Structure 1
């Protein structure tokens, strides 16, 4: 029976997942990828190291799957979107890959916001440029690394680099192409958009675009030797990880919103016409005539992880020794905290926000009698409130009746119920392991005809999902807390830049 290999490369880990034809996970192999931060706001990784780690993960996943490599019928990769990966004109890596957490181009974006470039880009491409957008990063390289800029042969995304390593072919897909350079109506490269950003010299550097499930080549003998794959195994173009996650949980479609609570707060819904608004990215969907409308900010579950790493280390170590789960232990504490009144609120802006680059995180209403559980409750509520900011924006442009939720914290029923109460809509959590990798695998299966399309998920989604319905009493109480959360953000808006000014390096 055929198997599918989905590769999912995030901001810290690269994974290889082997699925059978029903979507069941046969094996998962992971490798951590070090981040390189040589300067403030620079977040990079070694491209050769990324490929070597991914090849090792693929080899391990095949070995652990219990199936021979000859049964892997097709391969697809997904990876963190935005950021920038460069090749020189000989096809070699040109410096480090730049992650989507990078914010070095903040000054470029601020300048574009002031001179009309951002508004022109919104009208043309369906989105305003942001600090980690490929256009912004390329403009920064043009200004600060002119020699490197002059040597650029190809500018593409992380998953496109992995595809290149697997097949030797250079290209991107429809979803990834729209991160900066496509025209929103035609969904193809806009002829004049490079000039808009002052990047006209790169007219030959944008890669050819294919549909996410288009077979673009086969595994090369060199890649086969490193990964254990069979040379010639079909590889499809792959897709942006935001779209892959939505697809993998069955949340890609009109009338629903896919909510991904990970490092980023990701909230997306599909439309059959372009709807342009500064509050979301109007990007390409899986097919021409589909648009994926994404409202995002780097302000989600990473705040919970930060709290655990910085303030719960001893508990984490104790849980490891006991073979227990720190998440279960804390979940019980948070559940008890939810049942009692609390004045504690939290803005989850440790790594970014929907309110500009100077907004920062903070607890408010904290008193001496409050404990860790009260603070953690506020953190989880703050994360859900930030998702509501984005979902509320999307609701003003699209009709959405249900939500599909994924991300590590979605596995806790307490947190999933909180999202339903905060969003005021039914939230479905599907029993999907490795959602983004499965979204990539669906494209791989579609490319070879195993599935009729990437959205033709072979699973019975109704049977693998659990619905959480809003509780009217809790919803009313959380509406009030959300209102205060929003009012406090407005009140703090003029103060956040003054707080940031205390930094020893200005805005660093």
Structure 2
């Protein structure tokens, strides 16, 4: 028998998932990875602690699979993109890892936006830098922590750190490499890009680049002792998590947009030519001559999680105690709310938005006769509306006729149907729960010849998934609501900075 291990590290949880060769999930194990927030806008994690938690998850997943470690023919990891994981000349962590939710570099971005750098960066690298981009974070470290900056010898992404822990080999793949420093046309690291950001003195710290499905090394004896993997097991280079999720739901096909409704609103379409636009990132796809076009913002299901934590705490506790699902517990409230008209609109900007750092979340049209179900429906609608904002931008540049949806909330049929109605296109939700981990597993399998390529997916997605078709009457009503949602956001743009200043003038929670 042959199986594959896909490692998926997010912002709070690291997962190890073992799949059979045919794509069947055999086991999954999770470990929470604590975040550290030493001051406002700093969001970090201990790199050694991340590796320890991942190793524990791998060991548990092997035990749960019921198969011996030797059955695992290859391993690959995916993890949150952007952020920064640095090593010194002894290949030891150079401070904590910086997560993609970190916004300490806001001042750097503001300074860059006031000149021509944004325009030059878009033309050269295919994207405008943002607060958690490696370019901005390295520039911040150079300015505020010069001693740490001088000690940088290796600039890695999160999954590259985990692969280094498994194999002792330094490197990255094409998708991770393009988060800041590649020429969008040549798809290789660019010294001109480093000079643009004032970082030319660490150009040599960028790691060697390879294909996601190339073998990077093998599991070392030390890593085998920690994880329970067999020493010598091949480890592929792996890939950025946005790309992994899209691959895991079959989203790399022509005319298909991949949607991840997670902490971030992630919307991605693959192209065979370069199309740059300030509304999306044009980054390397897995294969040369293909590009991932990603429109994203930190404004998706994290808003739903906030609502559950803030207004449904007792229900959550009861669900945990009984072993039930909080989503099923609340389903009747959402379904009832969907059957009646509502004036409530919600802007899901609790943690960020497509409209800049000053935007904030809000309920509008709320009345005393509305209940929690009405508010929850509005939250889900607002999340889908934010995705549509990004998807409409991508539809301006690419022919899109079908969507693939993943993320925890996609398992709610009402939410998935809402996406189909709001987007006005068919939406397929695949049966694979751990899509990003399976995307990594496809890379692992292709690296050792179990699959002809990463596109050689053994699953029948159409047969095992569920397709949601848009209802024309509901789509028309959502169009009307979406138009008002957008008009309100435009109206609030000049007011949001004034709202944020209230915390500074009243001694509130502006930190």
TM bin, normalised by shorter chain, reads: over 0.9
Residue 440 of structure 1 corresponds to which residue in structure 2?
440
Show the counterpart of 1:247: 247
Q: Partners of 1:94 and 1:471 in 2: how far apart? A: 53
Match of 1:281 in 2: 281
8 Å Cα contact 2:191/2:200 also seen in 1: no
Is 1:498 the counterpart of 2:498 in the alignment? Answer: yes
Compute the displacement of 1:452 (Å): 0.5
* Structure 2 residue aligned with 1:349: 349
| Deviation by residue 1:4-62 (Cα, 9 ceiling, x = unmatched) | 00000000000001111001111101100000000100000000000001001101111
- Give 1:466 deviation, angstroms: 1.1
The aligned residue for residue 227 of structure 2 is: 227
1:183 and 2:183 are equivalent in the alignment: yes
- Residues 279-358 of structure 1 mapped to structure 2, 5 A cutoff: 279-358=279-358
Q: TM-score, normalised by structure 1?
A: 0.99
Instruction: Give 1:244 deviation, angstroms.
Output: 0.2
CA deviation string 1:145-191 (max 9, x = no partner): 00000100111100000010000000000000000000000000112
Matches within 5 A, 1:15-414: 15-414=15-414
CA distance in 2, matches of 1:72, 1:318: 38
Distance 1:339 1:212 in 2: 46
Aligned partners of 1:206 and 1:117: how far apart in 2?
Answer: 21
Superposition TM-score, scaled by structure 2 size: 0.98
The 8 Å contact of residues 27 and 65 in structure 2, kept in 1 or not, is answered as yes
For 2:351 and 2:454, how far apart are their aligned partners in 1?
A: 33
CA-atom RMSD in angstroms: 0.9
- What are the Cα deviations for residues 287-338 of structure 1, in whole angstroms up to 9, with x where unaligned? 0000000000000001000000011111112223333322112121111101
CA distance in 1, matches of 2:475, 2:246: 25
- Equivalent residue runs for 1:410-429 within 5 Å: 410-429=410-429
SS across alignment from 2:399? coil
- Which 10-residue stretch deviates more, 314-323 or 125-134? 314-323
State the distance in 2 between where 1:199 and 1:249 align: 37
> How far apart, in 2, do the equivalents of 1:115 and 1:227 lie?
49
SS at match of 1:396: helix
How many pairs does the alignment contain?
A: 508
CA offsets 1:445-483 (integer angstroms, 9 cap, x no match): 000010001011001111111111100110000000000
Q: What does the per-residue CA deviation read over 1:426-448, in whole Å, with 9 as the maximum and x for residues that have no partner?
A: 00011012100000000000000
Is 1:3 the equivalent of 2:27?
no
Unaligned runs of 5+ in 2: none
